[in-house]
Structure formats: structure tokens, C-alpha cells
Structure 1
């Protein structure tokens, strides 16, 4: 597929405008959904991961497959993206942010502590031809910026936080979760190691929100750092939905 602007085949615009195209009479709704799904995957597969992942930030990029599955189900199940303002905490290079915008979010705000990742996020917006869309990223420390005393300013928050496997980051996943709960009006969707499930649900309830595990995933983490012994590590991960 030629994705150049000259031919009018913008990666993002093909996906975003797909349903506006008049289907041929013989095309069923199932056929249209399959086409949309393929285009959606195509865009996300063009989102580049961290060029130089940093151990201190536990940087792992959510894969295109995982991101597509999570976001599509969030929209189909709870209608929590289309027309909604969305924040992506610890957004990295923009996989979840871009995916949320493609599914109709009115605006997406990414928050990221690593300047290199912020630059890569902007580069991915250019690759996906979404620089003119209502999507942006801010360089900041999420945990310090959102300390629980903030006004709620977005409808939905999505996050794949550091899991806290680095001893220096102990408790960072819960800090991210509390930050998300402090700014969301309606929904928070977060990924956590299954082994922390009880702690996660207790943290959610302590803020006055309700929470439940909506999906169990197998997360394949690639070997990114020298201290890792194996090429990949397969861990169990929960997708947790919190709501108010």
C-alpha cells in the first residue's frame, strides 16, 4: 500500500475515514469490520518502539497486537474511547495514544518522563500522518504531577505502567494507578502483573472507585537489557477496569 500524501493514501486517514466510505452492496457489516481491523493493525504496526530503552524507566513498548486487542475491546465493551477525552500515562512512544485516537477519541494527551520517548512519540505521529490530529504529548513526571490533589480533567485514562520489577521502582505501578484515578471522570484501564491483583483492586477501592479484572493476558517481554538472562520472558498480566 502506498502511504504517501501525494497519492492521498494517508495511513491514519484510511483508518479513521473507513466507515465513511460507502460499502458495496455485497459487503456485509462483518466484511467491513474485518477491513477496519486490518487497517487498524496496519497503522499500529508502523508505530516504532523505544530506540534506546532505559532500565530505570522499565521501558517496554506495548505491542501492536496487544494494543489493538485491548483498545478495540475497551471501545466495543464500554464505548469508553469514541468521543472521549483520553489521557495515556507513561505513554512511551505513543502506541496506546495513537490507537485510542484512531478509535475516535476526541483528544488524546500523552504524559511521559523520558525526553527521548517524547521525541519518538512525535516522530510516530509524523509517520502515521497524525500531526494535525488532536493528539499531543507532554514531558513530565506523572507521579509528581498528579499527586491526588488534581481536578479530574479527562474522561478515560489508559496506562501500561512500569511494573516495579526494578527495586528502585518499588511501588511505582500503584503510584501510576493512583495518579490515573485522580484525573479520570469515568474510566481507567490499566495493565498490572497478575501476581499483584489483590493489591491493585484494594488500591482502587481505597480511592472510592470500583474495579475488576476484565482480561488476562500473556505478556511476552523481549530481552532489552544486559541483566536479562533470557531472550524473552512470558508473564501473566491483568487488564483492570476502574470506574466511578
Structure 2
């Protein structure tokens, strides 16, 4: 404790008695002392951080706390402020208590977990791990929201190994009669899938299709819809096999 200032007062008490009022007085000295009620506080309570998945060790320095004012500090030495992660860490992060450097301890995988919410406590008690009490220590915390950025590390996968469809000779040229579909666990542009018909269309037990000059089918590059690329005529029949490539890069 430190005495900031003091004040002296004289208090007089008297009655209205007769024939002579009586009185007494008291000299009072008031001392005002400083109580060190300082608790570290962050300038902002929320911080957004972006880390990239499947990347070697990544780090970011957390912001400094607001400094003590002159009255709180008094003649006492300035103590270091240590940071601790008190909530939200499953072992993926390490926080250096003195340098305030937040580091990943392993490769992050966005497909397994796309974000983390860490609660960081600032304290002048740098010995041991703090006994965090949210209702008491909340004024000294920083919430760090970690967003895991995506990289293109997943290939598209078809929802089925074989897709089947059929048409009759009554079908019209250009009709979409089936779809192929693939999924990609990435996000954004990394999950945008394009479809391509590759190789030759294999014909089996076909009749009336010997003179086709073009591929009998077209695959929509964006939707995977398979469309008829010829005008069926009576007497045409057969089986067709072809391969479709799903690609998530331009």
C-alpha cells in the first residue's frame, strides 16, 4: 500500500442547552491509500488469426496488454505479464508465456476441424499454471478465434464407382438422361469440380450405330450431366461404356 495524500478535519459537536451551550471538538486525519487492484487487460477482447492447414510450424504474436497507469504502479517495479491458454486447446497450439508467441504444434487439418476458439489469460503470476475462474479472471482474457485456411489436398471422389442410364429411340437429340457426381472435401475454389469424358466410348452389341461420326454422348463440364449427342432412329440399339474424369483444378 502507498499513501497518496491525507486530509485533516476538525469536527465540533454542540448542544442548545441553557443557560450556556456545551460543545466539544475532534481533530480527524484522513489518509487515502492506494490499493494495487491492477489486473492486466487487453486493448481488444477478440482476435482473429488465420493459419493454413497441412503447413509446417506457424506462429503469431499476441497483442500486449494495456500498461499500468502511474497511480497503480507507484514505486513498485513493473512485473512481467504472462499469457496462458486456459480454454479451447486440444494440444494443437502452444503459447510461450513470456514472449506471447502462439505456435502450432502439429499440422492442422481443416477437413477435421475448421476453427478453434482459444481463451488466453494474462496475469502477473508467472509461477505455475493459473487456476482460471471465468467470473473473476474474465477481465484479463483474450478470445483468439483461429480460422484454418484450406489447401487443395483432397481429390474429388465419385459417389459411386458405376453409373448407369438408358434411353429409347424415342429420345430427342441433346436430352440429359443421367448424371455423374463427385464430391470434394475441400472448400471454395479448391472444391470446384469439372467433369470430362475421356478416352473412347466402347460399344457392345450395337446395331445401326456404325456410321456415327462423333461421340454419342457429351458430359456437362460443370454439372456432370450426360447428354445424347445424336438423334436416335428406329432399329438402333446397343450398350455403351465410357469413362469420366472429375478434376478440381483448371
TM-score (norm 2): 0.19
Structure having the larger proportion of residues in strand? 2
- Relative to the length of structure 1, the TM-score reads 0.19
